[in-house]
Amino acid sequence: MNINLELYRIFYVTVKTGSISKAAKELFTSQPAVSQSIKLLEQKLGGQLFFRTSKGVLLTAEGEIFFRYIEQGYHLIQTAEHKFQETLHLLTGQIRIGAGDTLSKYYLLPYLGRFNERYPQIQIHVTNQTTFEILDLLKSGKIDLGIINLPIDPDEAVKIAETQEIQDCFVAGRKFKKLSLGEINLQELTKYPVMVLEKGSNSRAFLDKYWNANGLELQPEFELGTIDLLVHFAKTGLGISCVVKNFIREELQSEELYEVKIREPIPKRSIGLVILRDVPLSTAARQFVALLTSDKKVIAEMDANVKW
């Protein structure tokens, strides 16, 4: 049966008010319009819903059963409307974010804290994966947005905005402090134990390309899972680590680590915010994007090809 949902609403209000005239008043319509709607609904259902009395209307036995289900549906619709408004005004909802371990700790964490202070009712779920895994999670709909290391190969399925520029560098502990007194070339660096992130990450792929661009093949002494480990290994004197300079400024200032300057500069790269192209974000996710990208130019770039 193809029945207009408005007929169900009129039926529900008529039952709750117990009167055609009272229902018409609550629905801001005329009594004949309500009567006609009830008659039309009865015709479509193939049975009588009400007994008309001098005091109003009473449900038939069939109408009683029918009303029990209509009432549940009506309440569910009202609940859906309320939940929609709550989500719209950030009173409830969730954000699913994908980010690597390093970016979660050194970049994302402060923003998560600020967002939680403003919108404590919003649940935040963070999944730690590599850049390539985050892109797969995004395309499969398992996260709303990702925080990744750039650059990546062009991908028509996603929209990317650069949020912060970062600079990779080589660092050493006190054991190799002498290397920080001047500049050395990349070839000279190969004489020392080099420590880098393990294969599989976008950061490692970027470093491999840098090495190859200078006619060398990266053959590290240690391949580790996180920048934190690279920092600790360098402090211990086990070798020269390649890390993101933006994330170790305190160690450099306190001289726990020393930058080893290379004549062949490592190109700068960026942290990127990635979302699915032409897929709208929830109000909560969009508010987080606005917090993350306080630069209005970045927000405009994200808006350009996305129907929020």
Instruction: Give the contacts of 122 (CB within 8 A, at least 6 positions apart).
Output: 90, 92, 93, 94, 95, 115, 116, 284
CB 124 within 8 A of CB 118: no
- Is the pLDDT at 302 greater than 90? The verdict is no
Quickly tell me which residue has 């001289």 as its tokens. Answer: 255
Q: What pLDDT was estimated at residue 306?
A: 46
| Mean pLDDT value of segment 264-292 | 90
| Topology annotation, domain 94-161+276-304 | D-Maltodextrin-Binding Protein; domain 2 (3.40.190)
- Is the pLDDT at 3 greater than 90? The verdict is no
User: What is the CATH superfamily name and number for domain 168-267?
Assistant: Periplasmic binding protein-like II (3.40.190.10)
Q: Structural domain boundaries of the chain? A: 5-88, 94-161+276-304, 168-267
Q: What is the pTM of this model?
A: 0.74
Q: What pLDDT was estimated at residue 297?
A: 53
Percent of the chain having pLDDT more than 70?
A: 95
- Is the pLDDT at 233 greater than 50? The verdict is yes
Q: For the chain, how big is the Rg over CA atoms in Å?
A: 31
Q: Is the dihedral of CA 13, 17, 22, 28 positive or negative?
A: negative
Q: Which of 11-25, 64-78, 185-199, 219-233 has the lowest mean pLDDT?
A: 64-78
Burial class of residue 56, CB neighbours in 10 A (0-12, 13-18, 19+)? middle
Digit-coded pLDDT (tens) for 10-58:
999 999 999 999 999 999 999 999 999 999 999 999 999 999 888 889 9
| Topology annotation, domain 5-88 | Arc Repressor Mutant, subunit A (1.10.10)
What CA–CA distance (Å, rounded) separates 194 from 176? 12
Long-range (24+ apart) CB contacts under 8 A made by 222-228 are 222/193, 222/195, 222/196, 223/195, 223/196, 223/197, 223/198, 223/199, 224/195, 224/196, 224/197, 224/198, 225/101, 225/197, 225/198, 226/101, 226/102, 226/197, 227/102, 227/106, 227/197, 228/102, 228/105
| Mean pLDDT value of segment 249-278 | 94
Do the domains 168-267 and 94-161+276-304 match in fold? yes
CA 154 to each of CA 80, 135, 137, 138, 271: distance values in angstroms, whole numbers, following the listed order: 39, 12, 17, 15, 15
Q: Residue 179's closest CA among 188, 214, 232?
A: 188
Digit-coded pLDDT (tens) for 106-150:
999 999 999 999 999 999 999 999 999 999 999 988 999 999 999
